[in-house]
């Protein structure tokens, strides 16, 4: 599973990264976690507001930081 955190490196982007790490750890998932910080690449996903979460090339959420439990539900679904 490839998970991408889209954003310029702001505090919310870092919080989303940490939440994703924790969710994957709690679920025992082996994931590849990538940061995408360049805006042309972020725009390719149609994201206008960061941070954003992409799981296996599917945009899951943008413009907010979901909780660890929300992320766990996304990763299990």
Domains of the chain, each with CATH number or no CATH: 2-76 (3.40.30.10)
Model confidence pLDDT, tens digit, residues 17-66: 999 999 999 999 999 999 999 999 999 999 999 999 999 999 999 999 99
Among residues 3, 5, 6, 13, which one is catalytic?
A: 13
User: Which residue in 10, 11, 27, 48 is the catalytic one?
Assistant: 10
Per-residue confidence (pLDDT) for residue 50, from 0 to 100: 95
C-alpha–C-alpha distance, residues 49 and 69, integer Å: 22
Contact yes or no for 17/6 (Cβ under 8 A):
no
Residues whose CB falls within 8 Å of the CB of residue 8, separated by 6 or more in sequence, listed in order? 37, 39, 50
Residue 59 a catalytic site member: no
The pTM for the full model equals 0.94
60 flagged as catalytic: no
């Amino acid at each position: 599973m490839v998970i991408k955190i889209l954003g310029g490196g702001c505090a919310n982007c870092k919080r989303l990264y940490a939440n994703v790490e924790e969710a994957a750890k709690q679920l025992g998932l082996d994931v590849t976690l990538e940061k995408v910080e360049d805006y042309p690449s972020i725009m390719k996903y149609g994201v206008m507001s960061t941070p954003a979460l992409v799981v296996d090339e599917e945009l899951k959420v943008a413009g907010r930081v979901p909780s660890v439990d929300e992320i766990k539900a996304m990763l299990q679904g």
